[in-house]
Structure 1
């Protein structure tokens, strides 16, 4: 039988306080604060119509301060750049590609298949060089762990096989660069481009491949060149996408030792054509990362490959649908893997 509880003294009852309510005045103050916060960007935008330089500078300064707090206090990047471990930055599109979040297709691979067919008719070989992305080679900077192999998409080998079936010769540098990264840095931590050392390793591999398969295209004579060592520093294009105004103050700068070579200039008469984008131009274009902003350094992939082959090459941009290759014996296309297999 349960004991009878003692009676509750009415004077000692617990009173539940009522829910707090905002007064009309407090509610209006909150609305005013939010309205002010929303109006600040609009005010900068309107003012920029009249005082462009001063207003843009003020807006960039505010952005720099906010990004510094996000980076150093909250370890966050922005919607375009992911901040990984040890100050490593990654383009968000790289991560989206690896996790299949968003994969926008392109016509690069199909265009190369058509190009291989056209070149085959004129007895010209197509050589495609595939370079992996930074996220594939440095996954531990995104998610901590021990990775036994490179992170890559399952259908990469299938898609590259389609190029080979069409008659193209494909050099997939993914595994070679995975081994190289254990010895030297293959990519910068704050820049989207490869290091000069990784570029030179790929150029050596391509030179060996060309000399083995096309021995007549490589010269046995050593060209007369003038080589200059340049020491360049840069905050990195990914860091500038976080903070366009003070990128160097955000995460510091990185250095690159370039070998600028003069004496073996590109030639349209060469039997070898080299197509490429920023991977090819990064150390030849003064406006790109580590370019120096002045005279082009002449230290890019085309210059390195021509020096190793001992002959000039015909340097062009990415191949177009109506690209002409008459009297050419070898067409080389240097591309990121993400463009071949998006």
Structure 2
């Protein structure tokens, strides 16, 4: 039997060469990713490997979680987010787009199971805090920041906001009012802003929006039954200076995972000409005030990132003509900053006469968390307040 003849070697076509180059690039990229992955393997493995952990899946779950945080996984996620945005306008699970250029946080649009019960429990917590503070001679006022999707509803452009969320604000304020807790719904103040009350690509209010909220809150505080005494605190020391217009990146762009893209590929950023509120130290008014006791703020603000952005607290201080201490925390949600403040040395040693508790509407019906359990210390504040 004759040996089989070799098949004729056909010349490589142009298409075959292109496919070969693509395959080589793909293999080389895979090699680079594998090398990078191997360099992080030591940090990926769980610290303690046990037979029980292997059998019940705890080890594999921890390994999967750590793999998701590796540079390879992070790069792949960023690439996926970029491709989704550039091809179909997808913004990921946390961000939604309304009218062109207007982004909204998905959390504002969520309808939670047992949402009414969660809201009622949070209202009961606030009422309990108010009663305990009153025993120490400290007043409380609650300021509610409405959803951006509520105030800027004209910019939703078909983005669906469930109708069941319409009564969320009124339900909250009604419950607190029934408990005797002073509460300020800032919705009407924000709707009165001539321009935009919220940034287009950010969850937060603009400087004009924060200013309108500060004015409304200051008016409510001045009308309270027991107004702050004129001698309790000095005038706030702020010098207001204009800032040149500059690009302001939005936190919703970052949340959508698009902040690493070239600026021209990202959702269009806003050009904002803001103002700087520069704190100016106050000189001692008398020999008895050499240690600055008279300049201690009589008002403390606890709350969320709304109180740390757009100069809300400086604008509130100027509207009241009194010093205001800012103890809000970004990401504090309902009770984070309150828990931190009530256990701090600032509260124990120099308690205020009035606490402003700023809250987000979107957090009121969200599932309850451990930090939502806010308790005021039952001792240590009365004598200090009375002496000021």
When normalised by structure 1's length, the TM-score is: 0.67
User: Which stretches in structure 2 are left out of the alignment for 5+ residues?
Assistant: 1-25, 42-69, 283-292, 329-336, 367-388
Give the structure with the larger helix fraction: 2
Distance 1:327 1:341 in 2: 30
1:157 aligns with 2:146: no
Structure 1 residues 301-333: Cα deviation after superposition (integer angstroms, max 9, x where no partner): 111111222221232232128454776322111
Shift of residue 135 of structure 1? 1.5
Shift of residue 118 of structure 1? 0.7
Structure 1 residues 74-106: Cα deviation after superposition (integer angstroms, max 9, x where no partner): 232212222222122222222214xx5795947
Shift of residue 176 of structure 1? 2.8
Picking from 188, 191, 213, the partner of 2:199 is: 188
Contact 1:196 1:256 in 2 (8 A): no
Partner of 2:268: 252
Contact 1:239 1:247 in 2 (8 A): no
Distance 2:99 2:114 in 1: 23
Partner of 1:320: 339
Distance 2:31 2:230 in 1: 61
Contact 1:127 1:170 in 2 (8 A): yes
Partner of 1:227: 240
Residue aligned with 2:199, SS: coil
1:212 aligns with 2:223: yes
Distance 1:116 1:63 in 2: 45
Partner of 2:313: 302
Picking from 90, 103, 127, the partner of 2:141 is: 127
Contact 1:186 1:194 in 2 (8 A): yes
Contact 1:264 1:307 in 2 (8 A): no
Q: 1:272 to 1:222 in 2, by over 3 A?
A: closer
Partner of 2:359: 335
Contact 1:264 1:312 in 2 (8 A): no
User: Which stretches in structure 1 are left out of the alignment for 5+ residues?
Assistant: 1-36, 284-299
Contact 2:277 2:314 in 1 (8 A): yes
Picking from 263, 267, 271, the partner of 2:298 is: 271
Contact 1:200 1:301 in 2 (8 A): yes
Aligned residue pair count = 278
Picking from 94, 108, 113, the partner of 1:94 is: 108
Picking from 44, 47, 60, the partner of 2:36 is: 47
Distance 1:71 1:141 in 2: 20
Partner of 1:81: 95
Shift of residue 199 of structure 1? 0.2
Residue aligned with 2:88, SS: coil
Query: Is 159-168 or 196-205 further displaced after alignment?
Result: 159-168
Contact 2:101 2:200 in 1 (8 A): yes
Q: 1:144 to 1:215 in 2, by over 3 A?
A: same
Contact 2:142 2:183 in 1 (8 A): yes
Two-structure CA RMSD over aligned residues (Å): 3.9
Residue aligned with 1:86, SS: coil
Shift of residue 127 of structure 1? 0.6
